[in-house]
Amino acid sequence: MKMTIKEKILSQLLAAKGEPVSGQKLADELNISRTMIWKYLKGLEEEGYVIEAVKKKGYVLQSIPDVVSKERISPYLTTSHLGQNIMYYPICDSTQNIAAEKAREGAPHGTLVITEEQTAGRGRLERSWDSTANKGVWMSVIIRPEISPHLAPQFTLVSAVAITKAIEDITGCVAEIKWPNDLLMNGKKVTGILTELQAEMDRVQSIIIGIGVNVNQEVEAFDVSIQSLATSLKIETGSEVNRPELVAKILYYLEKYSNIYIESGFEPIKLLWESYSCTIGKRIRASLLKETLEGVAIGITNEGVLQLQLDDGEIRGIYSADIHL
């Protein structure tokens, strides 16, 4: 990704890890005047960065704002496409709605729409999604794979594996995947995924992968009614998580597993998904639109359909349901 001058200055300050960076050196390297450097630093301060000027030595980055802006995510990015175009909103109704609009207007493959706070966050089955300000990762990724529309739901499973891997890398803790798209820690929901499709009859135009990760909330941030159902990475690990780093890691694994899926099909993803699943092999209750079924979840098909073996031995394919373990 082509970095702006502001991003270049910031990445030098970050790389210095608390040591002073000479203003003259910055000016020489970026081929701009020292006055311009000073203006950029003032701009960063207005965004919440605390920068100290140390006489005769240069500028020291003292603290960074806890935001998931483009400037904060970019230094961690290691992808070729995902996140190369970032649209950041301090507040919005739903990143999913914005991404849908941007996708229709032609936003490129890999565009990331991300926010600090959603006023109308959406979950599966038309539920609302609680998105506490500055505490979570609320983002939607626009991807444009050349696949047939009926394969699009598999990207929910690709995403679940990618986010589980990212969380494991960043926190050292392993989440479990509850079919189709919930990530749980200690039995409580830490992440939800909402995959939406824009397509013609035989061709995907875009898939919008909406990801909500509860990151730095304390228990009290959740409504009392969901405190026994929801958790955050901070609650489970006891440590604050660097949200921009987590976002970049999710994009890294999403790109990696999407590429594997496109090149080698669903089989390798399915194996990974099953290894993280807390649904397979368990007795479950599945609430469908018109009925509730009980049985043992014996696996998923290559299309990501859950296979439920009922007590009379019949195997039913579950396409969409609420699962109770």
Q: 3-class DSSP state for residue 80?
A: coil
Binding of ligand BTN by 118 (CB under 6 A)? yes
Minimum CB distance to ligand BTN, residue 32 (Å): 37
The number of angstroms, rounded, from the C-alpha of 78 to the middle of its chain's C-alpha atoms is: 15
- How far apart, in Å, are the Cα atoms of 203 and each of 140, 197, 287, 303, 304? 21, 11, 31, 17, 19
Q: How far is the CB of 61 from ligand BTN (least distance, A)?
A: 30
* Helices 34-46 and 23-30, packing angle to 10 deg: 110
By CB under 6 A, residue 95 contacts ligand BTN: yes
Stretch that binds ligand BTN, among 31-39, 94-102, 242-250, 285-293 (CB under 6 A): 94-102
Segment lying near ligand BTN (by CB under 6 A), choices 91-99, 156-164, 195-203, 294-302: 91-99
Does 37 contact ligand BTN by CB under 6 A? no
**Interface with ligand BTN, residue 129, by CB under 6 A:** yes
φ/ψ (deg, to 5) at 22: -70, 135
* DSSP element (H, E) containing 176: strand 176-178
From 89-97, 216-224, 252-260, 297-305, give the range in contact with ligand BTN by CB under 6 A: 89-97
Minimum distance, C-beta of residue 96 to ligand BTN, in the bound complex (Å):
4
122 sits near ligand BTN (criterion: CB under 6 A): yes
**Binding of ligand BTN by 258 (CB under 6 A):** no
Contact 186, 230 (CB under 8 A): no
Q: Rounded to an integer, what distance in angstroms lies between the CA atom of residue 130 and that of residue 227?
A: 12
Q: Is 20 in the site for ligand BTN (CB under 6 A)?
A: no
Paired with 214 in beta bridges are 136
Q: Let me know: does 217 contact 236? Beta carbons within 8 Å.
A: no
Single out the residue of 73, 139, 157, 162 in contact with ligand BTN (rule: CB under 6 A): 139
How far is residue 265 from each of residues 45, 257, 268, measured CA to CA in Å? 47, 10, 7
Among residues 94 and 164, whose Cβ is nearest to ligand BTN?
Answer: 94
The CA radius of gyration of the chain, in Å to the nearest whole number, is: 22
Q: How many residues at the interface with ligand BTN, by CB under 6 A? A: 21
Tell which residue, 10, 11, 65, 9, has the closest CA to residue 242.
65
Separation between Cα atoms, residue 252 and residue 265, nearest integer Å: 19
Under the criterion CB under 6 A, does residue 155 sit at the interface with ligand BTN?
no
210 touching ligand BTN, by CB under 6 A: yes
Contact 275, 263 (CB under 8 A): no
Pick from 41, 82, 96, 185: which binds ligand BTN (CB under 6 A)? 96
Whether the CB-CB separation of 135 and 221 falls below 8 Å is answered with yes
Q: Which of 41, 44, 59, 94 binds ligand BTN (CB under 6 A)?
A: 94
Does the protein bind ligand BTN through residue 142 (CB under 6 A)? no
Decide if residue 222 touches ligand BTN (CB under 6 A): no
Pairing relationship of beta strands 204-214 and 136-143 according to DSSP bridges: antiparallel
Looking at 212, 244, 295, 304, which residue binds ligand BTN (CB under 6 A)?
212
Residue whose entry in the numeric block shows the structure tokens 């092999």: 281
- Residue closer to ligand BTN, measured from CB, 131 or 171: 131
Please report, as residue ranges, which positions from 176 to 205 form the binding site for ligand BTN (by CB under 6 A): 182, 192-194
Give 158 or 193: the residue with its C-beta nearer to ligand BTN: 193
- Binding site residues, ligand BTN, CB under 6 A: 94-96, 118, 121-124, 127, 129, 131, 138-140, 182, 192-194, 210-212
